[in-house]
Chains A and B, each alone.
Chain A
Amino acid sequence: MSPTVPLSELAHARSGDKGNHANIGVIACDQTAFEHLGRALTAERVAEYFAALAPSAVVRYELPGIRAYNFVLFDVLGGGASRSLRIDSQGKTLAVTLLKLPIPAP
């Protein structure tokens, strides 16, 4: 097993909702971390981590100007702000949850 670090060592993040979808913006601390996360923090990895929320798709977009990735998690909010039965109906805590994800150390 190669050593891992929590994502929070390499990046910070913010999450929110759009209807029944959520997005998590992950901002790398520096260029090295941005490139490392480009390989280690794939859409597949994020989809697997949040598998319990049964996303219909996870798409990763890049914002190279601020060294960030934007993950859009489709259909993960249990109906969205209007009809979700969850306390976090707007996915506000998805970001801090993702920051605990173990990432192979760079």
Chain B
Amino acid sequence: MPVIRIGNAAGFWGDSLAAPRRMVESTRLDYLTLEYLAELTMSILAHQRAKNNAAGYVTDFPLVLKDLAPALARQSWLRIVTNAGGVNPQACAAAAGLVLTDAGLGDVRIGIVEGDELLYEPDIHNVRSGRLQPAARETFAHLDTGEPIDAIRDRIVAANAYLGAGGIVESLSQGARIVITGRVADASLTVGPAVFEHGWSFDDLDRLAQASVAGHLIECGAQVTGGMFSGWTPDVRLADIGYPVAEIDSDGAVVITKPEGSGGQVTIGTVSEQLVYEIGDPAHYLTPDVDVDFTGVHLADDGPDRVRVSGARGHGVPERLKVSIAYDDGWMADGTLVIAGPQALLKARACADVVLERARSAARMPARTNAEYLGAGECVPGIRPLADDPPEVVLRLSAHDPSREAVERFVRELVPLVTSGPPGVTGYAGARPKPRRVLAYWPTTIARERIETHVTVLPATDWIPH
């Protein structure tokens, strides 16, 4: 059975810049995937595009691609699939085209996958005026609450449907070595190459299910190779942790592994923890490609740092695609102070009270505020009584309000406590806490037939704007 090896060397925007090159130089891959988009990354990118219509993609990607150019030149078989396109795959392809051309790889074909964007002719100079496409009979009601979208309709910043693997397969079949997508389901970055290489049909649901599980397992990078593992022990090397490889054969058999000699570990334990990561009903793990049943998934040892994954089943294809909408929801800011003991917790509470009292007396109390006493046992609040007398506590104050000024003034009041508060207060050397826009999340769905995927494949040089 022919086997393809798909490695994923980015699990989110901000993941290690060195990992992709280290990966392709330490193990043979057919495909490298780079997954950058969390639920809210799209809205951050939409804001960037609002200020500059050449922005709105993941700017780590051109840097990574530059680093990968020597490997791309040597490994003629290697292809890259990434969702780095964000809300602007064309601009991302232009940046990638420049990098490849500079590296003497101007004839490498770059494909982009578009069609996920649901804003109707967004005004790129003021993205807040963007309107949802007038899709007849779509209510875009909140997936959890059923609330109609009217409440937030005029504050929408980004709206994107999750596309499946189809556009990736089409790009690859047009000869793309680099595929850049916008919002595509994370697992589809892996499903696309598997479908293309093995010539599967999109009706082949059990194989799609197996490839989707493989994609789910590697999409968060090192979280399946020993990162975040609750069986962590200090003797497992994490500094050079290997990023994951999924081996997928033409029957849909899957093995999860990592580059030989790299740090971290791939065990039934690490793989089972990632299998359950951020899932809901395991009988229905929904992707645009297939409704996957995880309940029969079985894991087996397949040698050192190799785990075999079997038993995923596909039960149909979802009729509706997930849509993530981000809307403007005011401003937030947070600031911290370190308070050393004795009586660290008591003093930290007194500091928080000072800030709250000043806001109250100035009639500038933000709509929502929160005080946390980190180090006293409050990472998950209210589960157990706070430690009586911790040696030191980090006071973290945060605020949320429609007004930027309100949250800024609130957290600024932390600073004077260094001189005017109780003794033993420090840790305020950095810049003032900066308010940030809140882009709240509105999950909803859209009928599959209303989404049209567009693919464009061109040599790298042709993507560079003239």
Contact = CB atoms under 8 A, between A and B. Distances in A.
A49 B383 contact: yes
Give the secondary structure class of A's interface. mixed
Given A19-B39, A70-B282, A63 B372 contact: no
A36 interface: no
Interface string B277-288: 111111100000
Contacts of B382: 51-53
Interface string A79-99: 111110111100011111101
Contacts of B438: 82-83
A66 B297 contact: yes
B15 interface: no
Contact of A14 (B228, B326, B381, B396): B228
Given A53-B380, A97-B379, A86 B297 contact: no
B329 A82 contact: yes
Give the size category of A's interface with B: 35 or more
A17 B441 CA distance: 12
Nearest to B378: A87
Contact of A63 (B229, B294, B334, B383): B294
A62 B297 CA distance: 11
Nearest to A68: B276
Contacts of A72: 280-281
A50 B384 CA distance: 10
Given A63-B282, A96-B230, A16 B273 contact: no
Interface string B381-403: 11100000000000010111000
Interface of A: 8, 12-14, 16-21, 23, 25, 27, 49-53, 61-66, 68, 70, 72, 74, 78-83, 85-88, 92-97, 99
Given A14-B228, A17-B278, A93-B380, 19 more contacts: A12-B269, A14-B274, A25-B272, A27-B276, A61-B280, A61-B282, A62-B295, A64-B295, A65-B297, A65-B298, A72-B281, A81-B441, A82-B438, A82-B441, A83-B329, A83-B440, A88-B379, A97-B379, A97-B380
20 contacts: A12-B230, A14-B228, A14-B274, A19-B441, A23-B280, A53-B381, A63-B294, A64-B295, A65-B296, A66-B272, A66-B298, A68-B276, A70-B279, A70-B280, A80-B441, A82-B39, A83-B438, A85-B369, A85-B400, A97-B379
